[in-house]
Amino acid sequence: MRIGIPKEVLNGERRVAATPDTVKKMIKMGFEVSVEAGAGGLANYPDQMFIDAGASITSDADSLWSSSDLICKINPPQARSDGSHEADSLSDRGTLISLLFPEQNPELVEHLQSGSKTAIALDKIPRITRAQKMDVLSSMANIAGYRAVLEAAHLYGGFFGGQITAAGKTRPAQVLVIGAGVAGLAAIGTARGLGAEVRAFDVRPACKEQVESMGARFLMLDVPMDESQESSGGYANIMSDEFLKAELECFADQAKEVDIIITTALIPGRKAPELILQDMIDSMKPGSVIIDLAAEQGGNCTATVPGEVVVSSGVHVVGYTDLTSRLPTHASQFFGTNIVNLLADMGGAGDFKVDFEDEVVRKSTVVRQGTLTWPPPPDPEKPPVTSQGKGDSEVVADLPQPKKNSGHGHGASNEPMAIGPRNVIALTLAVVLALIGFTAESAPVPHFVQQVTVFLLACFIGWQVVWSVTPALHTPLMSVTNAISGIIVVGGLLGVAGTEVNTAAVLGAVAILVASINIAGGFLVTQRMLQMFRKEGN
């Protein structure tokens, strides 16, 4: 089978769908490879390198297309400068592997439904663990995230890392990354690597751990985030109004503090949400930089002009849509490797087939032998939801996790009442104690012995109960024991309760006086103290 690698037609595109390295692998798999002359030039892969790798060079694009069984390229087929359309050049039995974005390009999809052409959309490769090695969106997002930081650093007039020199010191640049997908995480890692201090936001609380593992601070909103669960495919859902409002307030606060904002917020199949509004841009320090990775989908920033850098209130707003193309050598390498992995998955040259039993192939095939096969049928059961892993490589199959307790573990639980095991023991003992007290009247034990028994049991109960008191409440514990010690008022009452006001009665009365102070003072001051204790947010 013959694979054709055409030169990209898209204006400004520097990448190429194969590199000498991936060509070697294709040939090893049994393919024959033909590369259009100059295809890798802008990515620093001259034709000679392809020849050395074993490919042949074809100078005419049209004949390359028509003579190949398989065309691997990056961008969706489009009209060439001479007016002809790339898709028309595909041979009738040919297979096209490239980005297609079928939702956005219905005409192209129609165009491809002729003869028995087959078209596989690389952007439709499902985000499952097995397909990660073929996922060009992830590998390109990683590059975009990296490049975004470099673009920001290029435009920013200061150091990223804090400097301490004889000429003075500077504080590290403050970077805010919105959206902690692959691109966001790559941006965090790159900015951290340059020494900046990074904070990141994502509507999916499950990202917190990943963000923190990259060395950034995860911003939390006050509103509960559990509604903001992950949709299938590792992208964020659309949020409620309340959430959106809190989110925007958070960004407004952040805008005043940070030097660099990198936005990567995308909602699948929709226009990108507008998150950085004009007043936030106005509130940023002059010289700050905003890199909008969502520029192609309309941008996360009001001021974004796709493909351009605009200056608004002294802030550079970068809307480049070709960030990956600005790193062509390695972007081509990754892209090419993704394609090689896909070809291997499809059986290589010897056993190449569009196998609909293969979930990856089924989901990404838009046209098979001239008939439309897109969109694919819905899953019989939900495949494992994936979210993007750290950096560019692994995917962590995780469902939204319960928010981890970030150090509020205080022993103070939300249990309705503290009838813990200790109290159960204590209550049981109290009953035993009571029984002893009741039966003692008739029992042949001396009164004193019975009293000692009650006393020791009560000490034991006290010991059990008091150890369960949280140390934070030891002062209220003391004041409440002050109050209940006032029960000695009973002794005073017995002293006063006589026929005349004699010495004993007066002594009893003074005892009542001080014991009443204890009772009233103890309980009231305890109540006062306990009312002060409140939980965060109450």
Partner 1 sequence: MELQSFVAIPNVAYLGAAILFILSLGGLSNQETARRGNSYGLVGMVIAIGATILLLVVPDAYGTTRVISSDNWTLLIATALVGGVIGSVMAKRVAMTAMPQLVALLHSFVGLAAVLVGISTWLTADLAGYGSDLVHLLEIWFGVAIGAITFTGSIVAWAKLRGWLFGKRVPGAPLLLPGRHGLNAIAALACIGMAVPYVSDTVSQAETAVELEKQLQAAEGVLERIENESAGIRLMQDEINAAVAEVERIEAALQVASHPSTDSRAFLFLMMLTGLTCLLGVHLVIAIGGADMPVVVSLLNSYSGWAAAAAGFMLANDLLLVTGALVGSSGAILSYIMCKAMNRSIWNVVFGGFGTDGGNPTGEGAEIEGEVTVTDIEEVAELARNAKSIMIVPGYGMAVARAQHLVNEFSGMLRKRGCNVRYAIHPVAGRLPGHMNVLLAEAGVPYDIVLEMDEINDDCPETDLVLIIGANDVVNPGAETDESSPIYGMPVIQVWKAETTIVLKRSLGAGYAGVGNPLFFKENNKMLLGDAKDSMSQLTALLT
Distance CA 12, CA 533 (A): 63
Shortest distance, CB of residue 168 to partner 1, whole angstroms? 14
| 206-239 exposure pattern, b = at least 16 Cβ within 10 A, e = fewer | bbbebbeebebebbebebebeebebeeebbbeeb
CA–CA distances in Å: residue 167 to residues 127, 130, 159, 173, 194: 50, 53, 14, 18, 20
Q: Helix/strand/coil (H, E, C) string of 142-205?
A: HHHHHHHHHHHHHHCCCCCCCEEECCEEECCCEEEEECCCHHHHHHHHHHHHCCCEEEEECCCC
Site for partner 1 in 472-511 (CB under 8 A): 472-511
104 belongs to the binding site for partner 1 (CB under 8 A): no
Give which of 198, 182, 248 is closest to 221, Cα–Cα: 248
Residue 187: which of 318, 85, 84, 275 has the closest Cα? 318
Residue 132: active-site member: yes
Considering only 171, 245, 256, 404, the residue that binds partner 1 (CB under 8 A) is 171
Strand-by-strand arrangement of the 315-318 sheet: 217-218, 197-201, 174-178, 260-263, 289-292, 315-318, 309-312
Cα–Cα distance, 17 to 39 (Å, whole number): 9
Q: Which of 138, 254, 387, 388 is catalytic?
A: 138
Please tell me whether the peptide bond between 375 and the residue prior to it is cis, using omega within 30 degrees of 0.
Answer: yes
By C-beta, is 167 or 497 nearer to partner 1?
A: 497
Stretch that binds partner 1, among 46-54, 101-109, 237-245, 514-522 (CB under 8 A): 514-522
- Minimum distance of partner 1 from residue 485's CB (angstroms): 4
- If the CB atoms of residues 166 and 417 are measured against partner 1, the closer one turns out to be 417
- To partner 1, the closest distance from the beta carbon of 473 in angstroms equals 5
Task: Give how many residues touch partner 1 by CB under 8 A.
Answer: 119
* Cβ at position 292, least distance to partner 1 in Å: 23
Q: Which of 30, 286, 314, 462 binds partner 1 (CB under 8 A)?
A: 462
Of the pair 383, 521, the CB lying nearest partner 1 is at: 521
- Binding partner 1 (rule: CB under 8 A), the pick from 378, 402, 417, 442 is 417
Looking up tokens 């989110």 gives 247
The reply on whether position 538 binds partner 1 by CB under 8 A is yes
Q: Indicate if 358 belongs to the active site.
A: no
Instruction: Give whichever of 283 and 423 is closer to partner 1, judged by the CB atom.
Output: 423
Q: Smallest gap, in angstroms, from Cβ of residue 257 to partner 1?
A: 8
- Structure-block tokens of residue 489: 């008022």
Within 353-412, the residues that bind partner 1 by CB under 8 A are 406-412
Mask 193-232, x = binds partner 1 (CB under 8 A)? ----x-x-----------------xxxx------------
Output the six-digit token pair for 356.
């609909």
* Shortest Å, Cβ 303 to partner 1: 26
Structure letter (DSSP) for residue 290: E
Residue reference for tokens 């226009």:
271
List the one residue from 12, 130, 438, 443 that touches partner 1 (CB under 8 A): 438
Can you read off the two tokens belonging to residue 264?
A: 């990567």
Q: Report the nearest approach of partner 1 to the CB of residue 420 (Å).
A: 7
Assess contact for 292 and 285: CB atoms under 8 A.
no
Name residue, tokens 């001021």: 303
Considering the complex, state which of residue 238 and residue 524 has its C-beta at the smaller distance from partner 1.
Answer: 524
Please name the residues in contact with 39: beta carbons below 8 A apart, sequence gap of 6 or more: 5, 6, 7, 8, 16, 18, 45, 47, 50
The answer to whether residue 127 is catalytic is yes
Q: Which is nearer to partner 1, 62 or 212 (CB)?
A: 212
Candidates 81, 106, 381, 447; binder of partner 1 (CB under 8 A) is 447
Q: Going by DSSP bridges, is the β-strand pair 118-121/70-72 parallel, antiparallel, or unpaired?
A: unpaired
156 is catalytic: no
Is position 235 annotated as part of the catalytic site? Answer: yes
309 binds partner 1 per the rule CB under 8 A: no
Catalytic, out of 14, 45, 89, 135 = 135
Q: Find the shortest distance in angstroms from Cβ 414 to partner 1.
A: 7
Catalytic residue, from 14, 15, 127, 192: name it: 127
CB of 253 to partner 1, least distance (A): 8
Which CB atom, from 233 or from 438, has the smaller least distance to partner 1?
A: 438
**Residue 441 corresponds to which amino acid?**
E
Sequence-distant (6+) residues with CB within 8 A of 269 are 103
Cβ–Cβ under 8 Å, residues 468 and 423: yes
Residues 221-280 that bind partner 1 (CB under 8 A): 253
The single residue of 235, 288, 297, 322 carrying the catalytic annotation is 235
Tokens of 352: 């190449």
Q: Give catalytic residue positions.
A: 127, 132, 135, 138, 235
